[in-house]
Amino acid sequence: MKLDAKFDGNRDAVLDLVRQHLVTELELKPEQITEGARFKEDFDADSLDLYELVMELEDRYEITVSEQEAGQISTVGDAVDFVMAKAST
Protein backbone atom coordinates (compact mmCIF):
# COMPACT_ATOMS: atom_id res chain seq x y z
CA MET A 1 0.00 0.00 0.00
CA LYS A 2 1.44 3.34 -1.02
CA LEU A 3 0.49 6.41 0.96
CA ASP A 4 0.36 9.92 -0.41
CA ALA A 5 3.07 11.49 1.69
CA LYS A 6 6.42 12.80 0.50
CA PHE A 7 9.62 12.95 2.48
CA ASP A 8 10.93 16.47 2.69
CA GLY A 9 13.44 15.95 5.47
CA ASN A 10 10.79 16.96 7.97
CA ARG A 11 10.25 14.84 11.07
CA ASP A 12 6.54 15.70 11.09
CA ALA A 13 6.18 14.35 7.54
CA VAL A 14 7.67 11.01 8.61
CA LEU A 15 5.45 10.90 11.69
CA ASP A 16 2.42 11.62 9.50
CA LEU A 17 3.30 8.73 7.19
CA VAL A 18 3.71 6.33 10.12
CA ARG A 19 0.45 7.60 11.61
CA GLN A 20 -1.42 7.15 8.28
CA HIS A 21 -0.08 3.62 7.95
CA LEU A 22 -1.12 2.64 11.48
CA VAL A 23 -4.57 4.20 11.14
CA THR A 24 -5.13 2.21 7.95
CA GLU A 25 -3.52 -1.09 8.90
CA LEU A 26 -4.37 -1.34 12.60
CA GLU A 27 -7.59 0.68 12.52
CA LEU A 28 -6.33 3.08 15.18
CA LYS A 29 -7.45 6.62 15.84
CA PRO A 30 -4.81 9.21 14.91
CA GLU A 31 -4.78 10.65 18.43
CA GLN A 32 -3.73 7.24 19.80
CA ILE A 33 -0.51 7.38 17.81
CA THR A 34 2.07 9.33 19.79
CA GLU A 35 5.84 9.09 19.49
CA GLY A 36 6.03 7.22 22.79
CA ALA A 37 3.40 4.64 21.84
CA ARG A 38 4.73 1.08 21.69
CA PHE A 39 3.75 -1.05 18.72
CA LYS A 40 3.30 -4.36 20.52
CA GLU A 41 2.20 -3.26 23.97
CA ASP A 42 0.00 -0.27 23.09
CA PHE A 43 -1.29 -1.27 19.66
CA ASP A 44 -1.22 -5.07 19.96
CA ALA A 45 0.74 -5.17 16.70
CA ASP A 46 2.17 -8.53 15.75
CA SER A 47 5.33 -9.27 13.77
CA LEU A 48 3.45 -9.13 10.45
CA ASP A 49 2.10 -5.67 11.27
CA LEU A 50 5.62 -4.46 12.06
CA TYR A 51 7.01 -6.09 8.91
CA GLU A 52 4.42 -4.27 6.78
CA LEU A 53 5.31 -0.94 8.41
CA VAL A 54 9.02 -1.53 7.79
CA MET A 55 8.31 -2.44 4.16
CA GLU A 56 6.27 0.76 3.72
CA LEU A 57 9.11 2.84 5.19
CA GLU A 58 11.68 1.11 2.98
CA ASP A 59 9.60 1.68 -0.15
CA ARG A 60 8.63 5.26 0.63
CA TYR A 61 12.06 6.51 1.71
CA GLU A 62 14.26 4.16 -0.34
CA ILE A 63 16.07 2.91 2.74
CA THR A 64 17.07 -0.58 3.83
CA VAL A 65 16.18 -1.96 7.24
CA SER A 66 17.92 -5.12 8.44
CA GLU A 67 16.12 -7.64 10.66
CA GLN A 68 18.35 -6.56 13.55
CA GLU A 69 17.51 -2.89 13.00
CA ALA A 70 13.80 -3.65 12.69
CA GLY A 71 13.96 -5.53 15.99
CA GLN A 72 15.16 -2.35 17.71
CA ILE A 73 12.15 -0.33 16.59
CA SER A 74 9.64 -0.59 19.41
CA THR A 75 7.91 2.80 19.46
CA VAL A 76 6.50 5.19 16.90
CA GLY A 77 9.30 7.61 17.78
CA ASP A 78 11.90 4.88 17.16
CA ALA A 79 10.51 4.37 13.66
CA VAL A 80 10.58 8.10 12.92
CA ASP A 81 14.13 8.47 14.32
CA PHE A 82 15.29 5.52 12.24
CA VAL A 83 13.89 6.95 9.01
CA MET A 84 15.35 10.38 9.75
CA ALA A 85 18.80 8.88 10.30
CA LYS A 86 18.70 6.54 7.27
CA ALA A 87 17.04 8.89 4.80
CA SER A 88 19.50 11.67 5.48
CA THR A 89 22.50 9.54 4.51
The closest of 25, 3, 23, 24 to 13, measured between CA atoms, is 3
What is the rounded distance in angstroms from the CA atom of residue 52 to the CA atom of residue 3? Answer: 13
Residues in the chain: 89
Assess whether 8 carries a catalytic annotation: no
User: What's the one-letter identity of residue 29?
Assistant: K
Catalytic, out of 12, 44, 46, 59:
46
Please, what is the end-to-end C-alpha distance for the chain in angstroms?
A: 25
User: Which residues are the active-site residues?
Assistant: 46
